[in-house]
Amino acid sequence: MQIGIVGLGKMGGNIATRLTRHGHDVVLYDRDPAVISKVGAQAVAGKTIASSGLKDMVSKLTSGRRIIWLMLPAGHVTETAVEELGGLLGRNDILIDGGNSFYKDDLRRAAALAAKGIHYIDVGTSGGVWGLERGYCMMYGGSKDATDHVDPILSALAPGLGDIPRTPGRDKPGFDPRAEQGYLHCGPAGSGHFVKMVHNGIEYGIMQAFAEGFHVMMSKNSTELPEDQRFDLNMTDIAEVWRRGSVVSSWLLDLSARALAGNPDLSNYKGDVADSGEGRWTIEAAIEEAVPVPVMSEALFTRFRSRTGNNFAEKMLSAMRFGFGGHIEGTNN
């Protein structure tokens, strides 16, 4: 299939490259021409075309229904692109937002585009900077017609079964087989970003638990403790042993172990931990639904506090964020 990718940053560029590896043709656009050239060079030869803007991109999408995937920061930048493309695309064309937009914005955009006959799909995309090789876990919302049409694109980006054992009982009728492949149609427009939003809220809580636990162990040699109760524990080795058969083993623990092996005191991190919006939105949704979320709330508030002074726990959070998404301290990107 042919698709346009707008925004070729850490994830957008890798998404474009992965699609070319699966035989798809990609029209590229980024506000930085050097980035377009870089992605074109790393993609499969002959499978990309550069464009100079959104209008030029639309003109170069020539194979049937035009499909454009936005991989832009949530908010004004995405909003502006959606509005412009709403005036350039036509009936039955498909616009995908693969960033981290607020799901209520998706509801509004989908309705406005539907009035013009344009389909809108929201794709919550998880996989960070590792997605090029590992694939992306995707949660998406939109009409069945549109999502079925772009299934070859989503299938190419998804990680597939891999070596993860199948969940017992999933051979029963009624389960979506795509979930095992790492991508899932969650429902109408907005539902994909809603599920991804909650996913990121949970991520905040898990990261916070790891960070606090390592801080407790790091502080076990405190002079405030009786001398016979002090332990000088090796954080790097503990992270590694937990990776091997422990019930808390996870990708986040893998990233923590890697960061600690590189620098055991994490002095290369300040611990100023940003939040990218989804944690706040998850808590707002919980308030609307009257659902208690104390763990996620505390994790979000700790990130706020980290920007006024920090400790080893916040350095752990920074290390994990950099590990999975290349997030630099002090930024939301």
Could you list the active site residues? 196, 203
Cβ contacts of 143-151, under 8 Å, gap ≥ 24 = 143/119, 143/188, 143/189, 144/185, 145/119, 146/94, 146/119, 146/120, 146/121, 147/121, 147/185, 149/65, 149/67, 149/94, 150/1, 150/67, 150/94, 150/96, 150/121
Going edge to edge, which strands form the sheet with 137-141?
48-50, 25-29, 2-6, 67-70, 94-97, 119-126, 137-141, 183-187
Task: Tell me how far apart the alpha carbons of residues 14 and 8 are, in angstroms, rounded to a whole number.
Answer: 8
Please report how many Cα atoms fall inside a 13 Å half-sphere around the Cα of residue 46, on the Cβ side. 1
Spatial CA neighbour of 259 closest among 270, 245, 269: 269
By three-state DSSP, how is residue 185 classified? strand
Rg (CA), the chain: 22
Q: Is 215 exposed, middle or buried (0-12, 13-18, 19+ CB in 10 A)?
A: middle
DSSP-assigned letter for residue 9: S
